[in-house]
Structure 1
């Protein structure tokens, strides 16, 4: 849970005189790929009403990913304590199992590996909104129109992990535009009251019916006071949104005999009695980024402590692994990190990585020696039987490309010499390419020129069917890692440094990359699948600059 200064609690009740509220509006209507959003530009109509209500508005239309990040950074740089923050994004969205993204207009069929560079991650946008708890609104407008997406992505907005004190409103772009221009800027009303008249919008997160989103300015009629305890209740609701001992202490100091004073004292005492609370607060004070947390998880995996994923999120698996590592290294086993422990773990991981690298070089040298020996015994002579024997044992071997080229010559010669009927049967089987088609060729031409190739194709198809389930599981494990595009490019660069020929380091894993991964896994005694898993990533990224 995030800890915010008490000033943010007060800011949720009445905007101080020095606060200048901020709003960001991005209206993406015209996409390079995918259908245009007819009503997206309507959200720009909210600019004037928001400015009239005291907001400094940052606005842009049809922005690519880089421009969208730039304007978001401009707004963030000017957000100060006490500001209210409105972020309105209208356009196409994409989601995976764990994150959602607002796509720039230059998004070109992004997939799970490249979407991080194609738009704004809503998790990051929500973190920015969380700097104004109780006064932050994220408005998301979209339409049911087509946007080409690659593997691992689906259109729309997934489940959001909304920080405390942040309100998220979703709906059709036209409905979002109307709400942002007409209801949101009205002073003296809570967000809950503003949204109560809009059945066409989905609201989640912080929804107070006591705290006005915008205060009533001087000279504005306020009407009779309906509830003499309204201020008490509003302060309590803001306190509950933070739910820290300091926030409960502040409530008691403000209302020592208030409606919720006894509950506030009890909650503060309960939280302070939390096991490991001081250790948790000490780790929070380190301010570890998500990438730094990924590095801790990678080091744990490298040292043999399973964190149950390298995703930068410290869940139960990571805490359990940390506790086991601390216990093994004579630290207090509480599952929370200190700076000294981070340094010690990094040193151990560096030693372990060097050991694994040395072992891998020895193992790889032995495998290459065996590869070269088998080549000299089989394919080096250049006969077809020897070449096929080599390819069966070493499909990713040192001489696999050469063997494939020479076998292609045999295939071409066989095709040229085959009788017309034999060749016709084979061409039909090749055109279909199924097990049944190759079996049909063998039935028709049991001694045909292509009989050996047909048997090999059948064996390969059978192996592919038996391995399809394992491949799907390996692919799912790789997707579940949730690695950003930069990490994928870094992995390809690392494979290239090791001489494993993965192709271009562009973050897109093609067959060259898969073969390089298989070679890496084989040399290090890992499960050979050609797909990334926790152990493969932990070893690949050791010594890669991290």
Structure 2
């Protein structure tokens, strides 16, 4: 079905060559959306660390985003707090191991079995688990950091039975942020979830696909109302449940409206729109005008380009 909307200028704005008619731009757009999502996750994680303003919080940020946009800020904050750079490096080294949720649960169970109190075996390595790891390291005569090395992880996992509680397809990451990121939600899907939450009475603000503080609060409120762990980040099962609950209450835009929304979310500048018109004209699709206004001629040219 032709949609008459196409963010071809996005490719032009990124310095890409004009695509051939057969090229599928969904991959390009999806990649940009994922990049925006990753940037948002990075920013939210840093803001959370900044709000907590503790060495542990900044180390957690660096562990999750070793090459994050706010890495230098986090490192400076650690220096200001008098935290050990060595421990920060240990956190980053642990993050590179890519420890799964199931493995984290297994480590907690093994530490608990040995008499080290982790405060729970839920796969979340908070203060209690870090203290347990540090104590275990001290008792072994290892360097005390509270973060495991690859060799230590092998020791703690030896013979452990990995059976995470309530195991399901959501257990693909080591944190709520990682679990949500693994879903690879497109921007239009994120917009849909925002609309569904708002329809259910959990105000997300503007449904723009960018999940800021208001959307995260709405997700937490929905999770609390549904007796879910309140993280502000969704799992695959929760996305399905939200969709089921919203049902007909959630707006269901048509294909054309969805395409128009997808294009509008790109916030194309007038220069980019003019460039798009010129590119279409060079490819043999007559737009009638190249003034940055997508009138009937440009929409028809886009539809013909789409085939």
TM-score interval, smaller chain: 0.3 to 0.5
Say which structure is richer in strand.
Answer: 1
Bigger Rg, structure 1 or 2: 1
| TM value normalised by structure 1 | 0.21
Say which structure is richer in helix.
Answer: 2
If asked which structure has higher relative contact order (CA below 8 Å, sep 6+), I would say 2
